[in-house]
């Protein structure tokens, strides 16, 4: 019998990166998330976080978390299905449903778990789930956990999506699943055409709005609000770990669909519920988003400002209109080195290398907060220019 652990041996990419001194993962922070953090003993401009609205350090959010901890304790000691439902879980779901203009919401312990729990519950043996090829990994794992058949269409390619819909037998159900904002590129899905095709073929539509909530739409309600299609999306999925400065995830839909998922989703039924402090932080962050929609405008202005500064500097990036700005390094090793050299200069960014991108299209992914200052962006761009010159990236 072959040793199961044989695969752990050999020379993996992470081993090579460590040897070359450019391993880019697991850097330690000694401060909370903010636009400027303390990372491994140095002041660091943070342009690699999903703290879109800048609420992780908001005093009201912190106070709400402390209140939840004091009143309810550190955990729920059980599943929502059994003893783990608190009154504040129900309040969060009710408040989020009202904000999103949906009949009901169910919450999950993480965003990743939300996609596992939703897709595996609603897609059955005789159903098809049709995915954009650049969807998040959690969507793909949710598809694998379901008993349905998965079809993938080329990224944002509506002709290819239609060909996949046409392939589905008339007696089968179909769910189109797409990221609202694609996390690696910052691109927005073509929701109007997805909705049109769904109606034409009788499919349902699910939008993963993890990077859309608090980012898109006049009130921050996400991709559907951005396009004026809030009544046309059957399922919203989202997270609390980004704009809402907490931990957990959710599904928003009709009461009937939510009730079905609550009683059939194994990841939901067999997982402990969101901790009280996390619930209260998410509730307070949602309250702040609702009362301060100007944060959404500030966030998108910062994204636009970064694109302006990069264009001015002649640095190539993926075009987008969101606060995710991915900058080409082209070669994987240069992505790793760029992260290393930038961190040494007090700027944190994230590497995106093959197979997450095509060979020769490696990136550093940058993302921004509503609370970033122009001076911080200016400083970061100067450091990027300096590193790009060292690495001879055109």
> DSSP string spanning 210-227?
TTTTTTSSTTS--HHHHH
89 carries an active-site annotation: no
- CA geometry: angle at 370 spanning 332 and 324, to 5°? 25
Q: Known catalytic residue: 183?
A: yes
Write down the pLDDT at residue 23. 94
Q: Which pLDDT score, from 0 to 100, does residue 357 have? A: 84
Torsion of CA 285, 296, 240, 319, to 10 degrees: -160
242 is catalytic: yes
The secondary structure of residue 317, as a DSSP letter, is B
CB atoms within 10 A of CB 109: 23
SS3 of 245, please? coil
Catalytic residue selected from 89, 102, 242, 284: 242
Q: DSSP assignment, residue 182? A: -
Question: What architecture is the 12-46+293-391 domain classified under in CATH?
Answer: Alpha-Beta Complex (3.90)
Nearest to 299 by CA among 384, 218, 207, 380: 218
CATH assignment of 59-291, among 3.40.50.920, 3.40.50.300, 1.25.40.420, 3.40.640.10: 3.40.640.10
Euclidean distance between CA atoms 250 and 261, whole angstroms = 12
How do strand 204-208 and strand 249-253 relate by DSSP bridges?
A: unpaired
pLDDT of the residue at 354: 85
Measured between alpha carbons, how far is 247 from 269 in angstroms, rounded to an integer?
18
Question: Where does the chain hold its CATH 3.40.640.10 domain(s)?
Answer: 59-291
Tokens of 17: 């990166």
**Maximum CA extent, the chain:** 62
pLDDT on residue 40? 92
**pLDDT reported for residue 223:** 98
Catalytic pick from 183, 185, 241, 246? 183
The answer to whether residues 243 and 220 touch, using CB atoms and an 8 Å cutoff, is yes
Counting as low any pLDDT under 70, the low residues of the chain are none
Q: Is pTM, for the whole model, over 0.75?
A: yes
258 to 110, 173, 385: CA distances (angstroms): 17, 18, 49
- When computed from its CA atoms, the radius of gyration of the chain, rounded to whole angstroms, is 21
> What pairs with residue 347 in β-bridges?
45
Backbone angles phi, psi at 106, to 5 degrees: -125, 140
What's the rounded Cα separation, in Å, for the pair 266 and 269?
5
Tell me which of 102, 136, 164, 211 is the catalytic residue.
Answer: 211
Instruction: Tell me where in the chain the CATH 3.90.1150.10 domain(s) lie.
Output: 12-46+293-391
Structure tokens at 386: 């300096």
Picking from 369, 330, 374, the residue whose alpha carbon sits closest to that of residue 352 is 330
């Amino acid at each position: 019998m072959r040793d199961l652990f044989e695969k752990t041996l050999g020379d993996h990419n992470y081993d090579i990166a460590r040897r070359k001194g450019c391993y880019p993962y697991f850097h330690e922070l000694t401060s909370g998330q903010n636009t400027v953090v303390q990372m491994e003993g140095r002041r660091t401009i943070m342009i690699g976080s999903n703290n879109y609205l800048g609420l992780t350090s908001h005093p009201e959010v912190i106070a709400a978390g402390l209140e939840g901890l004091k009143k309810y304790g550190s955990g729920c000691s059980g599943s929502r299905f059994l003893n783990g439902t608190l009154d504040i879980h129900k309040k969060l779901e009710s408040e989020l449903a009202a904000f999103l203009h949906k009949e009901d919401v169910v919450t999950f312990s993480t965003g990743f778990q939300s996609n596992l729990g939703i897709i595996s519950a609603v897609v059955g043996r005789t159903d098809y789930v049709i995915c954009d090829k650049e969807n998040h990994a959690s969507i793909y794992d949710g598809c694998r956990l379901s008993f349905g058949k998965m079809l993938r269409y080329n990224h944002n390619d509506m002709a290819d999506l239609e060909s996949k819909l046409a392939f589905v037998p008339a007696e089968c159900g179909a769910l189109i699943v797409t990221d609202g904002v694609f996390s690696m590129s910052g691109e927005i899905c073509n929701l109007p055409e997805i909705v049109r095709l769904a109606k034409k073929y009788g499919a349902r539509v699910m939008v993963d709005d993890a990077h859309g909530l608090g980012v898109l739409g006049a009130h921050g309600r996400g991709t559907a609000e951005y396009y004026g299609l809030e009544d046309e999306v059957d399922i919203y999925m989202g997270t609390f770990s980004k704009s809402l400065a907490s931990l957990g995830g959710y599904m928003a839909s009709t009461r009937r669909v939510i009730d079905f998922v609550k009683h059939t989703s194994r990841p939901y039924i067999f997982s402990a519920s969101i901790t009280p402090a996390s619930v209260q932080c998410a509730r307070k962050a949602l309250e702040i988003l609702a009362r301060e929609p100007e944060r959404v405008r500030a966030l998108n202005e910062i994204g636009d400002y970064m694109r302006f500064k990069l264009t001015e500097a002649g640095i190539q990036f993926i075009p987008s209109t969101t606060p995710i700005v991915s900058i080409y390094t082209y070669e994987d090793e240069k992505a790793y080195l760029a992260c290393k050299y930038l961190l040494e200069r007090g700027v944190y960014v994230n590497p995106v290398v093959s197979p997450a991108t095509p060979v020769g299209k490696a990136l550093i992914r940058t993302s921004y907060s509503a609370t970033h200052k122009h001076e911080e962006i200016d400083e970061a761009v100067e450091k990027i220019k300096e590193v790009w010159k060292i690495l001879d990236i055109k």
